[in-house]
Chains A and B, each alone.
Chain A
Amino acid sequence: MAEVTKLIHKYLRHEKKFPHVWCPGCGNGIVLGALIRAIDRTGFTKDEIVLVSGIGCSGRLSVYVDFNTLHTTHGRALTFATGVKLANPKLQVIVVMGDGDATAIGGNHFIHAARRNLNLTAIIINNNIYGMTGGQYSPTTPYGAISATSLYGNLEHAFSIAELAVTAGAAWVGRSTVYHATHLDQLMEQAIVKRGFAVVEVISHCHTLYGRKNKLGGPVEMMEWQKQVAVKIEKARTMTPEELEGKITIGVLTDRDLPIYTQELRRVREAARVALGEKSSQ
């Protein structure tokens, strides 16, 4: 067994939860591998990690791994995670969501989590579609694309998840693709160790539904596409908007030190205590 496979196996719930439900070739498996490698590198023990997920093909990820896991409802993973983090800030809370989970039904929670800035890591697997329910259009389905609810082309325009996170105030935002697996490992590691709300948008593929409906080929062709359109952010900054048309920038979009909610809460509480103490001693 290759070293990398051995490493992944150390973290899986072999006896209980396999075989998994994902289609052969689905990008979710690569995300799972990247997440495990990243966690392993950060040195956190299995028991220090809480993996929270929503509902969707992506949401199944938490089921397969041997951490503390919380499989929640569609769209609410970040709110469950907010509770976990506030009640026990020592836990390292990582949230895995699909594009629908994070930006459709849970879109409100996503922007508010970014704004609130708890020390959470959000991983969003963007496969441009609602995978689990059979391929209906999601907030990241491109304009004109075919889906089960847009057989003649999607009329809506897509979110750019990473840019949305930056604008909503996230402390750290990165994006990569499942093709760039090593790069993805690195981004995930940085996101986990970052203090503050950190978002990794993973461009992935659902060849079974999105790929098939839009004649984009199988997993190999779709990953080839990821390779072709990806541009490192450093290079993208030197390119014109016309040159960037149809490209996906990968890398760290933002990294800023912002006050963290739990620290702020402590600060306010201490200040209030001092003020009240002064009043009562007057």
Chain B
Amino acid sequence: MAKKTAAAKRVGMEVSIAVSYAVQLARAEAIAAYPITPQTHIVEHLSSLVANGELDAEFVNVESEHSAISTCIGMSAAGARTYTATSSQGLALMNEILYIVSAMRFPIVMTVANRALSAPLSIWNDHSDIMGARDIGWIQVFVENGQEAFDHSVMAFKIAENHEVLLPIIVNLDGFILSHVVEALEMVDQATVDKFLPPYVPLHRLDPRNPVTMGAFALPEIYTEVKMNHQVTLTKSYDHILKVWDEWGKLTGRQYHPVERYRTEDAKILLLIMGSLAEVAEIAVDEMRDQGLPVGLLKLRMWRPFPFKDLRDAVNGAELLIVCDRALSLGGVGGPVMSEVRSALYPMAQKPATLGYIIGLGGRDVNPGNIKDIVARAQQEASQGPQEEFHLYGVRG
């Protein structure tokens, strides 16, 4: 672990509560949300912190997620540091507005407690909600445990609000598996966060002394250029994200990377996973390494902007890459992450064979044994040549 400079105290806490403390430490000024399992504890706790004066912010529990994110636009347009959280159906209901948030460059921070989409109705974890919002133009990161959830919830504000960025961010954390567990976490104190994260200075805001027009109409002559501007800004936000992560790393000793590597030295076989299942995969990787298998694990933390170079560097030298998706792109190539990873690697002269396994849909448990089984199957498949586009692992016929 890197050397750290900040004072830290270790406490046992439910991850949702830790996220709400992160939002408090970040001094969020305006919060609008609608309850949905498993996001509820974050917002409930924030509502209490606001009501009892511990957090000097506005809070409203509006009548739907569509209203929540729309209200957030208003809050951000008026110049407030704005936060919301949702999950699953709630994120889907926000969809219309999500594109508007990013295109109008409102640096709103949102936690998504990832949960499966209906139908059938499921309250359990997978990534189908966020994969439906893949192209909304927000920065998107995934976390693996409670500590990361806390850290990224603070850092998100600093990334989003930079004037070179001014883009909204989603911090994805697995519903229940993370949101509802109690973990030992290292909190950071207010003085440290205050030094790290200065007050939000909006570049543009609704101000009667300096009127501006927001949400204007675009003719065909300009629409494409606006999209290009958004694309360039989102791609370039990469540099700034890394800067913020480095700064946090120096402060806390916890250094984050777009693609995290676990025991990848000399690995011929690589697993790639996003979110909390990476910790399960670590156990499997340890066991396989003990048996002499040259296997390692990549954890894709930065989903948008997509870290092309980091990914290409990370797979260099591997012969087989097994991408484990937590969502299904129906009627397509199977896993959305596998599809993007494979196309990102396509230009490489020497690239690993990439196979896709879809796991843990709608809360289906995945244990280290399953991961080992997937590696064994993938090895066999790789030696015979891929039989199918992807595998829905463990599905009953």
Interface residues in chain A, defined as those with a beta carbon under 8 Å from any beta carbon in chain B: 55, 71, 73-75, 104-105, 107, 130, 132-134, 136-137, 139, 148-153
Residue of B nearest to A148 (CB): B44
Give the residues in chain A near B121, CB-CB below 8 Å.
Answer: 55, 71
Please state if B40 and A148 are interface contacts (CB–CB under 8 Å).
yes
Please state if A152 and B51 are interface contacts (CB–CB under 8 Å).
yes
Please state if B43 and A149 are interface contacts (CB–CB under 8 Å).
yes
Give the residues in chain B near A149, CB-CB below 8 Å.
Answer: 35, 43-44, 47, 61
Please state if B48 and A133 are interface contacts (CB–CB under 8 Å).
no
Cβ of B52 < 8 Å from any Cβ of A? yes
Give the residues in chain A near B37, CB-CB below 8 Å.
Answer: 132-134
Chain B contact residue count (CB 8 A cutoff):
18
Q: How far is the CB of A208 from chain B (nearest CB, A)?
A: 15
Give the residues in chain B near A55, CB-CB below 8 Å.
Answer: 121
What would be 8 A-B contacts, judged by CB atoms less than 8 Å apart? Answer: A104-B64, A105-B64, A133-B40, A134-B35, A136-B44, A148-B44, A149-B43, A149-B47
Query: Secondary structure at chain A's binding surface: helix, strand, loop or mixed?
Result: loop
The 7 closest A-B pairs by CB, nearest first: A105-B64, A104-B63, A149-B47, A152-B51, A136-B35, A133-B35, A149-B61
**A150-B63 in contact given A73-B89, A73-B118 (Cβ < 8 Å):** no
Interface residues in chain B, defined as those with a beta carbon under 8 Å from any beta carbon in chain A: 34-37, 40, 43-44, 47-48, 51-52, 61, 63-64, 89, 93, 118, 121
Q: Bound complex: CA of A137 vs CA of B36, how far in Å?
A: 13
Other 10 A-B pairs with CB < 8 A, given A149-B35, A149-B61, A151-B52: A75-B64, A105-B34, A107-B63, A136-B35, A136-B44, A137-B61, A148-B35, A148-B40, A149-B43, A150-B47
Please state if A105 and B40 are interface contacts (CB–CB under 8 Å).
no
Please state if B63 and A105 are interface contacts (CB–CB under 8 Å).
yes
Give the residues in chain A near B118, CB-CB below 8 Å.
Answer: 73
**A134-B40 in contact given A150-B47, A151-B51 (Cβ < 8 Å):** yes
Q: Bound complex: CA of A151 vs CA of B64, how far in Å?
A: 20
Q: Bound complex: CA of A55 vs CA of B118, how far in Å?
A: 11
Please state if A74 and B51 are interface contacts (CB–CB under 8 Å).
no
Residue of A nearest to B49 (CB): A151
Looking at B40, B61, B89, the one whose CB has the most chain A CB atoms below 10 A away is B61
Q: How far is the CB of A99 from chain B (nearest CB, A)?
A: 11
Q: Bound complex: CA of A179 vs CA of B51, how far in Å?
A: 35
**A150-B51 in contact given A75-B64, A139-B63 (Cβ < 8 Å):** yes
Tell which of A74, A104, A107, A134 touches B89, judged by Cβ atoms closer than 8 Å. A74
Q: Bound complex: CA of A55 vs CA of B93, how far in Å?
A: 14
Give the residues in chain B near A130, CB-CB below 8 Å.
Answer: 35
Q: How far is the CB of A275 from chain B (nearest CB, A)?
A: 39
Q: How far is the CB of B45 from chain A (nearest CB, A)?
A: 9
